Each structure stands twice: as structure tokens, then as C-alpha cells.
Chains A and B, each alone.
Chain A
Amino acid sequence: MRHDHVISAKDLSREGIEEVLDRAAEVAADPAAARGRQAGTLLGLCFFEPSTRTKMSFTAAMKRLGGDVVDMGSVESSSVTKGESLADTVRVVEGYADALVLRHPSEGSAKMASEYVDVPLINAGDGAGQHPTQTLLDLYTIRKSAGLDDLTIGVMGDLKYGRTVHSLAHALTNFDARQHFVSPESLQLPRSVRYDLHEAGASIREHTDLTEVLPELDVLYVTRIQRERFADETEYRAVAGEYQIDADTLAAARDDLTVMHPLPRVDEIAHDVDETDHATYFQQAHNGVPMRMALLDLLLGGDR
């Protein structure tokens, strides 16, 4: 991978992805060896939208490397409320830190911001656009649980607005995965994502019913269907109910099916799934730390 900005999963090559995943596996196997590798390095956190796990995970990763973070804080308490542009904000903050992490509600915001800074900039989510570090930890989790070769994956839920879905689908084209997309018709993949998958020669199929594909899957990746995507509560409940799974649903699945979710979940995965061997979503969240340690270390040029 190019060791500068991390904006979109579309920029990640198979070699680049494998480099990060290999390094993450090394870090996970021997965390002590990574300690102190980024002593004295500062990571700037610019989160224009609320985030719990992504922000905490980046903070934990940086501190475990021996570095530290400087945090812009909430938008309400920053100069953004005085009308400062994003381009100005990142140009100021790059003077305080050795790399930046940006989350912003506008699509394309990370790409634009990266044009204004010289330090590495990592996109931690730009609206309904991309979230490449979530993708890297998803790929790391898939590789550990099911393997990335000869993979059959089902992605279910809000495929229209779910940025984790868009990033993951792009990245999986590097591995020739068979991708099944399961959603209500109103939340199918957007045209731009379909275009890219088609251009990449990806093998994709779209479904409205999980039972059509569940028995074939190595991985089922579930995402949340958000209430605000529907005109009224009744319609939301009717549709969302079709895309929830519980232990009974998974009786039709293979024994070694891996169930993933970017979290937070609401009720799309029932708690009785947590107790099954399928449940991998908490491990998935934990994998964010070694993966982000590996990525930060590669971007910041840590001595090995």
C-alpha cells in the first residue's frame, strides 16, 4: 500500500491489504514487541460526528504503540461552530500531530481534507461513503475465522447507506469472493457501488430473502437497518423484522458459519446468537486494535 493517506477501500490493493493484515497478526501474537514503537508520536483525532468504538480503538492502538493522541473534541466545543471550514481545520491540526484521523458527515470529506495536509490522513468514515479501517479489521476477522480464499459471504441489512458494506464489498473484489447481498428492495446497493463491483468483475448476487443463500455461506455480515430510512414506524418494523436473525434462523446455516456485525447492534442479531460458535462480532471489534496498531505503524514508519 501507499504509506500516506487511507481514504477509500478502493485504493487498497490485495498486496497492501495483506501487508496490513500480516502485520496485525504479528502485533496480536506479540503485543509487547510493538510497545514503544511510536514513542513520542502524536495522532490527531478530528471527529465531526459521534463515535465510541472507532475513536477508542484508534486511541488504544496509538497508546499501545507508545504514542499519544490529541483530540479536537466534540464539534460543539470546537471552532467549527464559528464557521471554520474543514479545509482550514485540518490544516491547523496537522501542525499539532504526525497523522490525522477524520470522521465527517459529508461524503468525499476525507479525500478533500487529504488534499490540504502533508501528514498521513486516515478516513474513519465520511457519511455514507467509505470506512476503510473498519474494512481492514473486517478482512482481518474474516481471514482468521473463515479465510479469504474461496470465500462465500452474505451481507445483509442496510446496503444503501451502510458505509462499512460499501468499503468491504470493494475490498473483497481483490479476493474473488462470491458476494450475496440481502436487503429490502429500498435499501439495495447504490448504483455507484454496483458500478465498481461490476468494473472489478466481482461475482455478486442480490436477494431479498436470507434463506435463499444462508446454507451456502462461510460468513454472514449483518448491518443495522436504521429507523430514519423509513417514512413511518409501522413500515420500519415490518421491513426490519425480516432482516433479524436468531439462533433458530442459524439452524439452516453451516456449522462453521461466521456471523459478523460492525456494531452497535440494536435487535438485528438476537442475544441467543451470542452464545453460539457463530458469534464473532465482539472478537471483530477487538481486532480493531491490533489492526489499527499495524496500520498506524506502517503509515508512521515504525522501526521494527
Chain B
Amino acid sequence: MSDHELRVSKIRDGTVIDHIAAGQALNVLAILGIDADSGETVSVGMRVPSDRLGTKDIVKVEGRELSQDEVDVISLIAPAATINIVREFDVAEKHRVERPAEVAGVLSCPNRRCITTEDEPVESRFDVLDDGIRCQYCGTIVREGIADHIDVR
């Protein structure tokens, strides 16, 4: 039994998000809207030894398969992450995250003068750049701390 398996026991149905950049697990939970009151069974491993990354974080969520929107945003803070969809204890699907061309509705624009921060019927929308994201409305570029702008639902 490998070191990896020792730390992370199997789940029946749900999602395992593996190879998260070390230190980003709590931000992944924030993207998924998981907090103390959420009710899901969640396991979190932080700074677990990894052949590929040195150390990595890992998140397992029981009873939930992630939406493409959620995966898209995770890709921004954890570009090397792999998503394992587990059904009846078996990995039914496994894929790496891919950075999308744009993300909508999940992040809020840090520019206080941007129209998307006002009481208008408009969803935030960001283009994904090589090294950050850019608001499609006001043009503000965010490179560091993208997770700080997650609009927790």
C-alpha cells in the first residue's frame, strides 16, 4: 500500500481532486462552496508527498460530482489538478483540468468601479490569460491571489 493510499481512504461515490498545488486545498473548498455548514463528507490532505509535485494537496468530496464550471475555476489555482469521479468505489472518469477560455459568475471583479460589482443584472465574466484572468467588462487583470476573488455561493 502506497503512502498516498494510506492517507486517503476510498470513497464510494463522489470526486477526488488530486495533484492540487500545495496550500490551495482550502481555496478549492471555497470554490466548491464547502464550509463548516455544508453537510458533505469531505477529506482534505495538505502537503502530502508527491512524485510529480514534491508536495500536493488532495480533496475528496463524498456524494458529489463536480460541474464543469467548478472544474474550470479550480484549474486557475491548481493547473496540475486531476479530477477523479468515483462511482461504487471505482474511478469511473479521470481527467486533468484544462484552463478554460473564460470563467463566468464564479469570481468577483476586484475593481470597485467595475459595473459588475454594482446592483445590475450582470454576471462577472473573465478571460483566462496565460498568467492570470481579465475582467471582460472593465479590463482589470488579476495575476496573484485569484482565489481571493471567489464569489462564495
List A residues at the B interface (Cβ < 8 Å). Answer: 85-87, 104-109, 111-112, 115, 126-129, 191-193, 195-196
B43 at the A/B interface (Cβ < 8 Å)?
A: no
Cα separation A87 to B122 with both chains bound (whole Å): 9
Q: Are A85 and B139 CB-contacts (below 8 A) given A108-B115, A109-B115, A112-B115?
A: no
Q: Are A127 and B113 CB-contacts (below 8 A) given A107-B139, A108-B137, A192-B134?
A: yes
List B residues at the A interface (Cβ < 8 Å). Answer: 111, 113-116, 118-122, 134-141
Q: Report the minimum CB–CB distance from A105 to chain B (whole Å).
A: 7
Contacts of B111 in A (CB 8 A): 107
A112 touches B113 (CB 8 A): no
Cα separation A43 to B44 with both chains bound (whole Å): 59
Nearest CB in chain A to that of B109: its residue? A108
Contacts of B120 in A (CB 8 A): 85-87, 112
B137: contacting residue among A85, A112, A196, CB under 8 A: A112
B141 touches A106 (CB 8 A): no
Nearest CB in chain A to that of B140: its residue? A192
Contacts of B140 in A (CB 8 A): 107, 192
Cα separation A111 to B116 with both chains bound (whole Å): 11
B141 touches A191 (CB 8 A): yes
Cα separation A191 to B138 with both chains bound (whole Å): 12
Contacts of B135 in A (CB 8 A): 108
Q: Report the minimum CB–CB distance from B8 to chain A (whole Å).
A: 40
Q: Report the minimum CB–CB distance from A2 to chain B (whole Å).
A: 17
Nearest CB in chain A to that of B134: its residue? A192
Q: Report the minimum CB–CB distance from A249 to chain B (whole Å).
A: 33
Cα separation A109 to B118 with both chains bound (whole Å): 10
A107 touches B138 (CB 8 A): yes
Closest 6 pairs between A and B when the two form their complex, measured CB to CB: A108-B137, A107-B138, A108-B138, A106-B115, A108-B115, A192-B139
Q: Report the minimum CB–CB distance from B145 to chain A (whole Å).
A: 14
Q: Report the minimum CB–CB distance from B14 to chain A (whole Å).
A: 37
Known contacts A105-B113, A129-B138; 4 additional CB pairs below 8 A are A87-B122, A106-B138, A108-B114, A129-B139
Contacts of B113 in A (CB 8 A): 105-107, 127-128
B141 touches A86 (CB 8 A): no
Cα separation A88 to B153 with both chains bound (whole Å): 25
Count chain B CB atoms within 10 A of each CB in A108, A109, A127, A193 and give the residue with the most. A108
Q: Report the minimum CB–CB distance from A290 to chain B (whole Å).
A: 30
Cα separation A87 to B115 with both chains bound (whole Å): 11
Contacts of B141 in A (CB 8 A): 191-192, 195
A107 touches B115 (CB 8 A): yes
Cα separation A107 to B122 with both chains bound (whole Å): 13
Nearest CB in chain B to that of A115: its residue? B122
Cα separation A112 to B123 with both chains bound (whole Å): 10
A-B pairs with beta carbons under 8 Å apart, 20 shown: A85-B119, A85-B120, A86-B115, A86-B120, A107-B111, A107-B113, A107-B137, A107-B139, A108-B114, A108-B136, A108-B137, A108-B138, A109-B115, A111-B136, A112-B115, A112-B116, A128-B113, A192-B140, A193-B139, A196-B139
Q: Report the minimum CB–CB distance from A244 to chain B (whole Å).
A: 28
B114: contacting residue among A106, A191, A196, CB under 8 A: A106
Q: Report the minimum CB–CB distance from A227 to chain B (whole Å).
A: 19
Cα separation A283 to B115 with both chains bound (whole Å): 34
B114 touches A107 (CB 8 A): yes
Contacts of A115 in B (CB 8 A): 122
A111 touches B121 (CB 8 A): no
B134 touches A106 (CB 8 A): no
B116 touches A108 (CB 8 A): yes
Q: Report the minimum CB–CB distance from A130 to chain B (whole Å).
A: 9
Count chain A CB atoms within 10 A of each CB in B119, B134, B138, B141 and give the residue with the most. B138
Contacts of A104 in B (CB 8 A): 115
B134 touches A111 (CB 8 A): no
Q: Report the minimum CB–CB distance from A192 to chain B (whole Å).
A: 4
Cα separation A191 to B132 with both chains bound (whole Å): 12
Contacts of A128 in B (CB 8 A): 113
Contacts of B116 in A (CB 8 A): 108, 112
Contacts of B138 in A (CB 8 A): 106-108, 127, 129
